[in-house]
Structure 1
Amino acid sequence: MSGCGDDDDGGTGQTGTPPLTGTSIKVLSGRADMVTGGDALVEVLPPAGAVPATLRVSVGGRDQSANFAVRANGRVIGLVTGLTAGTNTIEATSSNGSFAGARLTVTNAGVNAPVLLRSHIEPYICATPQAVAATADSAGTNASGLSAAPTDAQCTTRAETKLYYRTLTAAGTGGCAFVIPDPSPTAANPAPTTPANSCFQPYVAGTTQASAIATTTPLGSTTAVPYIVRVERGVINRGIYDIAVLFDPSRPWTFDAPQPQWTGKVVHNFGGSTGQPRLQARPNSSWVDNNALSRGYMVAVNSLTDSANNSNRVLVAETVMKMKEHIIEQYGELRAYIGNGGSGGAINQNTVASISPGLLDGLQIQLDFADSVTTAIEVSDCVQLVNFYAGPAWTGLMQQQGLTQAQINAKKAAINGHLDQLGCHSWNNAFGTANKPGNYQAVLVANAAGQLFTSPAVTNNCRLPAAQVYDRVRNPNGIRCSDPDAAVAVWGTTPGTNRANQTNDNVGVQYGLKALQSGAITPEEFVTLNEGVGGSDADSNLTPQRSVADLDALRTAYRAGLVVSGTQVSRVPIIDQRTPDEQGIHYNWRSFSQRDRLARDNGGNFGNQVIWRHNGGASLAGLSLTTMDSWLNALNTSAPKPSANAVRTQAQVIAGKPATAFDFCYLSTDATYSNQVRDFTTCDQDPPLAVRSSPRQVAGGPRTEDILKCQLKALNFADYGTIVFTETQQARLRAVFATGVCDWSRPGVNQEATASPLTFAAGPGGVPLAPEPVSTPI
């Protein structure tokens, strides 16, 4: 491999010979205007016939020619270093004038500085090597898993690496377990060691015997390699990350010569749940992913792409962008960057693909939710409903009619749209307080009958000392801890307050409409329900009035792709594994809501998504990864990406679809999971796999469930068909729906096509990203 910049002559450039033209420069590790960390992997494309030895590369006048060389693939690539904050100019010229040069302006930010956002949320408490307990006046810290303390308020910490090997012990019952081999210290265990039952044990050069190490064969290879894993841990975007990959300790690894056991592909594991603590933590998702590592995939995790640690979805996308950039610069160019995760991890995959298309090349989704903004519709509806059911209007009506508890539960299920009444209980108890901005005591459902109790524990979503947190009376300017407030840089605030704009709205929603039409509830029950269901205020307190969204938030949600766009997510392969959780929060209809968005926004086409339904007893992780691998291999051939974050079309994605990527289910009666049923009509008739609905769909809304605030039409009793309301009931409904009822045939208020990708660097609301900078001739 010949170098660049070590021969001033090169045998060309004689007097009178015109210089060759056409030189260009491009950044390989991301967008040129979004470089982070002070370095960038750069390719120089000199004109045909140019002699690379005459190439000179400089940044701001500093010579970086020694970093560039003609690599084994024939391309001139180098790692530009020492970029300063702000704009930098890269110039590629010829030392002897044999070819005309080019320049490219790149914009660099710190590895922990905001890029897509104007600011990151504050305060944010950095983790420390040893956890520190909280006091009444100060927040505690989590254990970082790093030996060094942060060096600044942005949690900058030196990266570290460790090696582990896969033991020969079989995994499973009585064998080893794929658990984190370096658990965090706790008060009870301040110096933890690798668990004896961990399938990964520390590798010590010169001590660990080769005969003790398992082997594995990466995808695309026929050669088994020692199953040794290198784990890099550090801080990117203020999130603690792990990057794990098969590694040969006896060999070097550079960006231009990665070790061959790596497939050049990454699985980024996204963590579940949702939350907005202000405390930095280790990732909840794990690099210990035998399914991916054993097949030669790199595994990446970051605590800020774990939904439980961060519900600001733009910050999630920004973190993925920085992780991907770092991997390309340090490990080499990528053949694929794939998501993986369920529930909140599904939200993050879908939202990243929607708001920053091109970052992810494929989505492996379990327990699908399209996004957090529209998932909140069902959460808020369920909170309203369980509190209404426990109130005097409903309980009195049920007692007056002499109904049994089973009959009452059946009415609740019909209104909720779920298998039974328990689903809304689960939503209330798990996430009913997510939008509480201050200290609170959760109101929880106590039993299957829906009785409520108030938890004695006082807490807040920031996990900060109570005195620092917002209180409407005592501390109105305190730190707000709700889900929207964690992304105030995206949503903006309502005038005169520090409260983030919000999308919650139920004005005009006719709860229980389809239950009324089917005869599951009576006209009096329908009227009483809609009179009493109420809404919530800006602080997530229940109110008799309906909830009203901030109009600016609605526009932002749609334009930014935070309400996931079927257009944007049509551009990646999606493998959706759906297991039933009809008494919890993960309902079967969610996968088909995503499908409906794809079909609506792409002329009826949803061919980039496949759904695999089963009862939870089968592990399809291996099949998902190998199917996705085949899909992306085909796309790399038929529709190669010209840059790391380029976007494919739905047609290209579908054209590359492998024969193994098709819809199927395993029926619940198939104990051996041996018969893949392709007829979804048959699957729908299996009770655990049946597709039900939600309170908003029972109210007449579409299964896409992406109308945040409905447009209204006048209340018209002719619309109820043969259902008869008394004059008194009609008057009561007119009072409830004085401004009208939802017209679900029309788009929602401020609902518009996505304009993503947006940048929020100039402030809330966002503006479309400008075209990526390109080099210009010198």
Structure 2
Amino acid sequence: MFSAFRRHKILWFTLLLCLLFGLLYVSSLSPGQRWREPNPVLATAPAQAGLLLPVSRHLAFSPRPAETFTFPIAVGGTGPTMPLYAGGLHYPLYCGYLQQGITQPQPDNQAGWGIALYNDNGSLSGYSKDCQHPTQLYFYVLDSTGQLATYQGGAIAADSLLLRLELGTINRFFYYIIMPISTAEYGSQQGASEWNGKLIYQFHGGVGIGYRQGHLSTTRLIRDRQEELRSGFAILSSSVNKTSHTYNFLLAEDTARRVKRQFVSLYGAPEYTLGIGGSGGGIAQYLLLQNSEDLLDGGIALYSYPDMLSQTLYALDCDLLHNYYYFNASDKQHWRQGVNRQLLEGLSYSSDSSSKYSAQISLAQLLSGLWPSPMYGASQCLNAWVGLSSLVHNPQQGRLKRFVRDELLSQVNWSYWADLHSLFGTDEQGVAHSLWDNQGVQYGLQALKSGALSVADFIEVNAAVGSWRPQSKMQAEQIFYDPVTDSPMLLSVFGKHNITPLQRISTAEPVAARYRANLHATERAYRYGQLFLGMTNKPIIDLRHYLDPKLDMHHLQPSFSARQRLKLRNGHADNQLIWVSHPDYTPLPEALALMDQWLTQAAKPSQAQDQCFTSEGSVIAKGGNVWQPDGQCAAVYPTLSNSRLQAGAPEHGLMFHCALISVADAISRGDYLPAQMQGYQAELEAIFPAGVCDYSQRDQALPADLDFVY
């Protein structure tokens, strides 16, 4: 009787909700006005071809071409538009001048491409597709309390600092040069009497898919580096070196080289150039230290991953697993427990936290005719990574906050893959190849072998979890815009409509298909330096707060993934230090002082060791063994896992296109022991007709000449 009552309750809820959304449907046909950027791109210009650096082995071994632009850029002049070797120009590009708080860019066409530009009287003056700005100088006073004010001449307090900011565009992105100066140098682009001869290149993070010029907050840039500026450092940066705007690290390198060339042409070569930055800004340092011998001399990578690509493997698994828990699992109550989800996800969970978007997920379940099954507590896989599949992976979606007019939405592929299509290539439909792959991945294998996951659950999750549809078959998200607040709400939670459905094969239980990525595209990602292979001996301090309990995406394991790659490449990881601290304390001053000593003396200081810190800043432990399984730092700040490690993949994380072994051979070889799987061979073969991952072999997309040697 209760069951019948619950079915009727679900039916009435569903009917009422459908009526509600039907009445409001007209208001949700297009993105809400508050979710648009001002002065959007009106039309997309034709792409312009440019030189893409030929790479035969690896980017690190490919000589960069001679510079074709004459530096320095004078005040009032404009920097180069076309990259030197990072490929041509693709569109649209949304200009970031409004967010930057400066005058509009120069007009470069009358064909209606890009954004509209207006005269002071409101009349149309032209359009900008490339967002070019003339180089300008700005002067600021930073007082002893950290307050920043515009400087227009005159005396300043003895404990205040006078700064010159040079701002312009290079390769269509904003560049920034911040230099401490004397009052005698006010008004001039020249003069470096207060410079200590050392450079810091600032990188920034975020998740981006290109198509934006972006901007940096000048105020934040100065305040974040105020102690270094007071010590005489000069600071360089560019909006392309913020991964909120793009993860194209070939373009990021091309631009950073030119920004540094502008600096050197004005002030001379620095003693050293130190990278600093967090999250995607940490990724940039790992990759640029590897790919380019003469750009950076060392790096302080905060909250880092070794690269973006290898994180997408498990990050894009999260929505697949959520879709399974909430929509496909036969026992949804079982998966409400965070400890059970962790067997598959590997990432952290908390019984004391609340899951994000739980009401939205419950609504989606109701609309599908299911009674809601909200999670007890919360997991990092949900709270940190949910929705990445929409932003990064779905070419029909991209950012919710639009910067083009509606007519252009269907004309552009909005994905991380599309932004790097010149490297990854495109399929027959002209859509960029995705490098994400889960063919043969046995989710929860390690938990099965330990006895924590039942055979029945192991088989069901692997049969039902499915995969992402090919890029050319993906559809835009189903979004409702609240007519009151005009804010968006995803109805297609977890990208459910873009996940392969369960299909019955012969008389076997239903199985959802898996996806095999294009091997050649992944091989090009390796050769073009978009993946960290451990190919550097330059010093890196990998510094982070311990955020796993907070369910933050910046978890600890990627530090050790990078370390493993260094060891496999070089036989050691002596150039990498891993420092982990309680979130209440940031040992950045210590890291900067140590790195200054390391780079100045061109030798590793004796005190350069792994360590971990308390909330008050005291050192818990220091030395070569603190991160061993029985080490003191590992005990205080334990390293967790991810879905691919839980499936048996190697710790280094470079496994896009695994070698396959038949289920029969895997059982015969003992891959499941102590679990006895002989009686389940037919079921596993229905799920994995091409075979399961053989992690004793290297990634099949990793070129043999770049394979690890240790």
| TM-score tier (shorter) | 0.7 to 0.9
Distance 1:610 1:428, change over 3 A: closer
Q: Which residue of the partner structure matches residue 674 of structure 2? A: 722
**Of 529, 533, 543, the match for 1:577:** 543
Q: Distance in 1 between matches of 2:467 and 2:401?
A: 21
Q: Distance in 2 between matches of 1:387 and 1:360?
A: 43
Which amino acid in 2 is paired with 1:628? M
Q: Which residue of the partner structure matches residue 618 of structure 2? A: 673
More helix by share: 2
Q: Distance in 2 between matches of 1:325 and 1:131?
A: 24
Distance 1:558 1:327, change over 3 A: same
1:200 partnered with 2:148: yes
The secondary structure found in structure 2 opposite 1:34 is: coil
Q: Which residue of the partner structure matches residue 586 of structure 2? A: 619
**Of 133, 141, 145, the match for 1:157:** 133
Which amino acid in 1 is paired with 2:409? V
* Residues 499-537 of structure 1: per-residue CA shift (max 9 Å, x gap): 112211110111100011111110000000100111112
Q: Which residue of the partner structure matches residue 450 of structure 2? A: 518
Which amino acid in 2 is paired with 1:412? R
Matches within 5 A, 1:591-606: 591-603=559-571, 605-606=572-573
Which amino acid in 1 is paired with 2:569? D
Matches within 5 A, 1:61-80: none
Matches within 5 A, 1:160-171: 160-169=136-145
* Residues 275-332 of structure 1: per-residue CA shift (max 9 Å, x gap): 1242323225724311321221111121111000112121111111111111111121
Matches within 5 A, 1:338-349: 338-349=274-285
Matches within 5 A, 1:701-740: 701-715=649-663, 716-718=666-668, 719=670, 720-725=672-677, 727=679, 729-740=680-691
1:750 partnered with 2:701: yes
CA drift of 1:398 comes to 4.7
**Of 471, 476, 480, the match for 2:413:** 480
Which amino acid in 1 is paired with 2:467? G
**Of 39, 55, 66, the match for 1:34:** 66
1:417 partnered with 2:346: yes
CA drift of 1:254 comes to 9.8
Q: Which residue of the partner structure matches residue 286 of structure 1? A: 221
Q: Which residue of the partner structure matches residue 391 of structure 2? A: 434
**Of 502, 515, 520, the match for 1:552:** 520
Task: Check whether the contact 1:115–1:318 (CA below 8 A) recurs between aligned residues.
Answer: yes
Q: Which residue of the partner structure matches residue 662 of structure 1? A: 609
Q: Distance in 2 between matches of 1:662 and 1:731?
A: 52
Distance 1:410 1:435, change over 3 A: same
CA drift of 1:36 comes to 4.5
CA drift of 1:572 comes to 1.4
Distance 1:537 1:355, change over 3 A: farther
1:469 partnered with 2:409: yes
CA drift of 1:152 comes to 5.9
TM-score, normalised with respect to structure 1: 0.66
Which amino acid in 1 is paired with 2:554? H
**Of 345, 354, 367, the match for 2:290:** 354
Q: Distance in 2 between matches of 1:602 and 1:303?
A: 33
Q: Distance in 1 between matches of 2:430 and 2:102?
A: 31
Task: Check whether the contact 1:612–1:664 (CA below 8 A) recurs between aligned residues.
Answer: yes
* Residues 466-494 of structure 1: per-residue CA shift (max 9 Å, x gap): 32123xxxxxxx11110010111222212
Q: Which residue of the partner structure matches residue 183 of structure 1? A: none
CA drift of 1:112 comes to 1.8
CA drift of 1:606 comes to 0.6
The secondary structure found in structure 2 opposite 1:612 is: strand
Distance 1:234 1:607, change over 3 A: same
The secondary structure found in structure 1 opposite 2:183 is: coil
Distance 1:486 1:714, change over 3 A: same
Distance 1:373 1:591, change over 3 A: same
* Residues 409-467 of structure 1: per-residue CA shift (max 9 Å, x gap): 21111211122261110343252323344454xxxxxxxxxxxxxxxxx9558742332
The secondary structure found in structure 2 opposite 1:566 is: coil
- Which consecutive residues of structure 2, in runs of 5 or more, have no partner in the other structure? 1-61, 105-111, 119-124, 350-377, 475-497, 501-511
The secondary structure found in structure 1 opposite 2:589 is: helix
CA drift of 1:730 comes to 2.9
Q: Which residue of the partner structure matches residue 542 of structure 1? A: 499
Which amino acid in 2 is paired with 1:717? I
Task: Check whether the contact 1:241–1:301 (CA below 8 A) recurs between aligned residues.
Answer: yes
Distance 1:325 1:754, change over 3 A: farther
CA drift of 1:660 comes to 3.1
CA drift of 1:752 comes to 2.1
CA drift of 1:253 comes to 11
Task: Check whether the contact 1:364–1:574 (CA below 8 A) recurs between aligned residues.
Answer: yes
CA drift of 1:258 comes to 5.4
**Of 159, 162, 166, the match for 1:214:** 159
- Which consecutive residues of structure 1, in runs of 5 or more, have no partner in the other structure? 1-29, 42-78, 84-108, 144-148, 170-177, 179-198, 216-226, 441-457, 471-477, 636-655, 757-778
The secondary structure found in structure 1 opposite 2:422 is: helix
Q: Distance in 2 between matches of 1:685 and 1:352?
A: 29
The secondary structure found in structure 2 opposite 1:390 is: helix
* Residues 724-767 of structure 1: per-residue CA shift (max 9 Å, x gap): 3474x4322111111111111111112126779xxxxxxxxxxx
The secondary structure found in structure 1 opposite 2:542 is: strand
**Of 300, 316, 323, the match for 1:364:** 300
The secondary structure found in structure 2 opposite 1:607 is: coil
Distance 1:38 1:32, change over 3 A: farther
Structure label with greater radius of gyration = 1
**Of 238, 242, 253, the match for 1:306:** 242
**Of 611, 624, 639, the match for 1:691:** 639
Task: Check whether the contact 1:415–1:698 (CA below 8 A) recurs between aligned residues.
Answer: yes
TM-score, normalised with respect to structure 2: 0.72
Which amino acid in 1 is paired with 2:450? S
The secondary structure found in structure 2 opposite 1:125 is: coil
The secondary structure found in structure 1 opposite 2:420 is: helix
Q: Distance in 2 between matches of 1:213 and 1:753?
A: 61
The secondary structure found in structure 2 opposite 1:428 is: coil
Q: Distance in 1 between matches of 2:618 and 2:128?
A: 53
Q: Distance in 2 between matches of 1:557 and 1:291?
A: 38
Distance 1:436 1:590, change over 3 A: closer
CA drift of 1:156 comes to 2.5
Task: Check whether the contact 1:712–1:741 (CA below 8 A) recurs between aligned residues.
Answer: yes
Which amino acid in 2 is paired with 1:507? Q
CA drift of 1:685 comes to 6.4
Q: Which residue of the partner structure matches residue 43 of structure 2? A: none
* Residues 32-80 of structure 1: per-residue CA shift (max 9 Å, x gap): 8331432379xxxxxxxxxxxxxxxxxxxxxxxxxxxxxxxxxxxxx9x
CA drift of 1:153 comes to 3.8
1:259 partnered with 2:192: yes
Q: Distance in 2 between matches of 1:434 and 1:351?
A: 23
Distance 1:132 1:295, change over 3 A: closer
